[in-house]
Structure 1
């Protein structure tokens, strides 16, 4: 509104200035025309009396001008600027330049007396409270003047007319005041009318649209403005509604994406405050979603081992770079350590300014447990392998001693009833039978020796000794055969 008022004032002021300038110029031009006409009439009236040298008639003409033309001053000067005739008789014989107060007028009079050419313009001067319009006309030395002045002087003098214009300037001033008053009232009326029209057609509608825009900037996207006008504001309003609808659609799309994320997910603002957390993330932390939104930071909620150093969220907020698959260990509300794989990225606006960040978490508890089980299984297998190697080595050592003739060592059975126990048990049984057979052989040999001893002593008959010896030999042969078979 202020701009429109300034524009109206500027254009109206320019119009006032042009009007006043035109009126002033027109008034001065009319006065100058009248002044030149008076100059020509005066010259025509005194030309003949001057030609015949009748100064009385000239004086009467100037007296008539004095009486009938109030305020008009007419002077006739010689070529030395001395006043010869004047409507103001007391100024006769005085220098003309004493009665001209404007330097340009004085210079114009001197130029006219030298060149014989009238000046191209009139001159305005002010003497006290009075203003005059000055016109100058040269008096040339015509043929009719030669009988008195001779022919050597080209210019005999000049006629100077001073027309009072004080009343004209006063009238122009009054006109200027009236015009200023009229245009001031006009400007005020135009401004009030424009203000009324703008208030009804523009200002109210724009103010209402601005209020709705403020609501949108505060986060309320349920705003809808109705304006069916065909002007630019109506088009702006319709575009505003379309923009809000697009914003709602994008927000709904984003909300749908958030709801569609099954894994634990949360978002933070630049101060690390949690602005959104889904049920899965809240359940993982052991809290309710509404308790932490806008209240707690992610560090206060998750207590991760990366919170102080290497935090993916802090990295995203600081550099805008994403982090994928970072392994962290968090402590939930129950104090239980939970292994997680997290991926984080920054949330940016259209200018690239970081507005926050989000993080998606994946619970690795089952994977970690599987890793522990696999590791324990591997360790058990390694222990079993080492034990098996030890038992095989023990068995090998026993067999080596047996091969050297030592039948006393036995392999230790673990009691697990595994294949190795079965393998160990067979050699142990074989060694036990071999020991038993050897014992039987020793006893049989002892019997043979005893029989031979009896034979040697002759206590028995040869037949008995022979039978006993044969029986002993058979028993020894059977034992050896059984040993070989085993």
Structure 2
């Protein structure tokens, strides 16, 4: 059973849903039954309590009157009207005074009542005023008891006195078996309806789970099992748009990717023309191609070789350790391994083995891939090439000896040509140096002649400029004399300006005195106006205005005094500066006169220098003509030497080419060897 549950999703799901549904419905039914029974008991308690209250009121009327016969008549009426109800009225001692069962009168409640719970309840009612209910079983019947304590009220004192707080208790017992049977019937009916609903719900849920989930999962499982078995065309479609549909679509996409990858891998394997094989982790052939069988001289198909060890397929020895086995053991690539195989049809096959481990995406070893390159024909060609190489080596040795002799002769000739070329180069170098020296000397002579001519021109220019300078100096002296005259006039004007400034100062002093007197008079007038009172108020205003005008006059006078003082100070400084300017002008006049005399002396010296420079220029021109003739002769010698050196270099180049060709021939022969 446990194995079946573990393998069946449908069974596990159905069992889980059934257990959960039954548990939930059991809780619901149990809770409903308890609530129905509890509600029925509450209702029954209310009814019995109400009936007990009515009975108490019915028997209270004759008891209050002390009518014993009337009280018994009420109990007899209760017995006739309510056959299923028993009522006991007991005293405070527990003795039954009145009862619907006459045989119980004058007996204690503890003797009549058989239920322990009810006896305890009536015992409490003798001690305290309470009102309580109790359900118990008696002779297979359900009885509901209600106990009510009867207090000793003032209306009862005329018969019973006031000594006891409780007069007794009223015990009412009703057979509620039919009522509880109806309640239990309704509970069973609800349970049956709930059970039917549970069965319907379970059937619907299980059917839905089976069709919407389990059957579709089973289809996906069957298809995935077929795919795992190699059927990549198994149908994964389950319909719908839910998670299972998306799962099926994802699996379909994954299978499509696997088909593409496997198709790509198979395409590569089928397209390989080199012999190869694929081995599993146990070293057994899982795939090989026809080219490998042809190389080994085996008949049949590649599928017939599947399962053999690599040693059995390649060498006919199942236990032989091959390169592929070493790759599987070491999990490392082996390349360029030369192996000699025996063809099944006779002869040997020389191969180069390249083998590598195959790993899955998690890095786990899943097999090995080995490629075999047939180099048998290559080795035969290599043997023929080695034989031809030996023959060429012998011919090359003879050619090398001839080349050595040619190289030796060309070396000697090259040394002789090099020596002649060196002499020609040396001669050419000396001629070039001589020509260069003559050119430098000629350039120096020409430069001297040019400088001499330039000096003569400069001397003439200096003579003219000195003459013009003398004229300018004379004009400068005249201008300086006029400046001195103007400075003396300015000095005289400055003196007069100082005198006038002193006169202005005296006038300002007089104005200050007048302003002081005016201010004093205005003050006196203000005092007199104050003494005159209201009559002199207008005069006081005028006096105040006069005083303000006098103060403004004094302020303006002080400002004018400041300006006049500044003018006097400036005039004094200007007069001093003018005196100094007059003195400097006089000194400049003397210096200008001496400058004119010096310029006249320079004019004479420049004339004499110009004559001498012209003589030097003439001699330099004659020397330059002679040096030009020497330079042309040296250039001609240099040209002839250059032609000779070029010819020798061409000869040396030809000899070098000959020696180089001999060396190349020697190198070619060495390569051939």
**Match among 60, 81, 88 for residue 68 of structure 1:** 81
TM-score by length of 1: 0.65
**CA deviation profile, 1:58-88 (whole Å, cap 9, x unmatched):** 2222222221113112222233333222222
Secondary structure class of the residue paired with 1:343: strand
Which residue is 2:309 aligned to?
297
Q: Counterpart in 1 of 2:47?
A: 34
Query: Alignment length, in residue pairs?
Result: 377
Alignment-derived partner of residue 353 in structure 2: 341
Which of the residues 129, 134, 142 maps onto 1:116? 129
Superposition pairs for residues 217-232 of structure 1, below 5 Å?
217-232=228-243
* Partner Cα distance (2:353, 2:317) in 1: 12
Residue pairs, 1:272-421, within 5 angstroms: 272-287=283-298, 288-303=300-315, 313=325, 316=328, 321-325=331-335, 327=337, 333-334=344-345, 336=348, 338=350, 340-348=352-360, 356-363=366-373, 365=375, 369=379
CA contact (8 A) 1:80 1:157 kept: yes
Aligned 1:445-460 pairs, distance under 5 A: none
Q: 1:339 to 1:185 in 2, by over 3 A?
A: same
- The aligned counterpart of 2:439 is none
1:332–1:338 Cα contact (<8 Å) kept: no
**1:150 — aligned with what?**
161
CA distance in 1, matches of 2:236, 2:151: 87
Q: Could you tell me which residue of structure 2 aligns to residue 96 of structure 1?
A: 109
Choose the corresponding residue for 2:91, options 57, 68, 78: 78
Q: Alignment partner for residue 253 of structure 2, among 239, 242, 257?
A: 242
User: In structure 2, how many angstroms separate the alpha carbons of the residues matched to 1:54 and 1:71?
Assistant: 26
CA spacing shift, 1:298–1:308, aligned 2, 3 Å = closer
Distance 2:111 2:361 in 1: 85
What is residue 277 of structure 2 aligned with on the other side? 266
CA–CA separation in structure 2 for the residues paired with 1:28 and 1:101:
22
Is contact 1:305–1:329 with CA below 8 Å preserved after alignment? no
Query: Counterparts of 1:326 and 1:137 in 2: how far apart (Å)?
Result: 114
Q: Work out whether residues 304 and 329 of structure 1, in 8 Å CA contact, stay in contact via their aligned partners in 2.
A: no
> Quick check: 1:274–1:292 contact (8 Å CA) kept in 2?
no
- State the Cα distance separating 1:126 from its structure 2 match: 0.7
Question: How does the TM-score come out when normalised to structure 2?
Answer: 0.48
CA displacement 1:445-472 (0-9 Å, x = unmatched): xxxxxxxxxxxxxxxxxxxxxxxxxxxx
Q: 1:20 aligns with which of 9, 21, 33?
A: 33
Question: After superposition, what is the alpha-carbon deviation per residue over 1:388-439, rounded to whole angstroms, capped at 9, x for unaligned?
Answer: xxxxxxxxxxxxxxxxxxxxxxxxxxxxxx98xx9xxxxxxxxxxxxxxxxx
Is 1:164–2:175 an aligned residue pair? yes
Q: Is 1:208 the equivalent of 2:215?
A: no
Contact 1:101 1:125 in 2 (8 A): no
Between structures 1 and 2, the one with greater helix share: 2
Q: What are structure 2's unaligned runs of at least 5 residues?
A: 1-9, 391-396, 402-673
Contact 1:74 1:86 in 2 (8 A): yes
d(CA) in 1 for partners of 2:109 and 2:128? 18
Does the residue aligned with 2:158 lie in a helix, a strand or coil?
helix
Q: Distance in 2 between matches of 1:35 and 1:369?
A: 123
Q: Which has the higher contact order (CA 8 A, sep 6+)?
A: 2
- After superposition, the Cα gap between the structure-2 partners of 1:300 and 1:366, relative to the gap in structure 1 and judged at 3 Å, is closer
* SS of equivalent residue, structure 1 residue 18: helix
Paired residue for 1:429? none
Q: Which residue of 2 aligns with 1:128?
A: 139
Q: CA deviation at 1:13?
A: 3.4
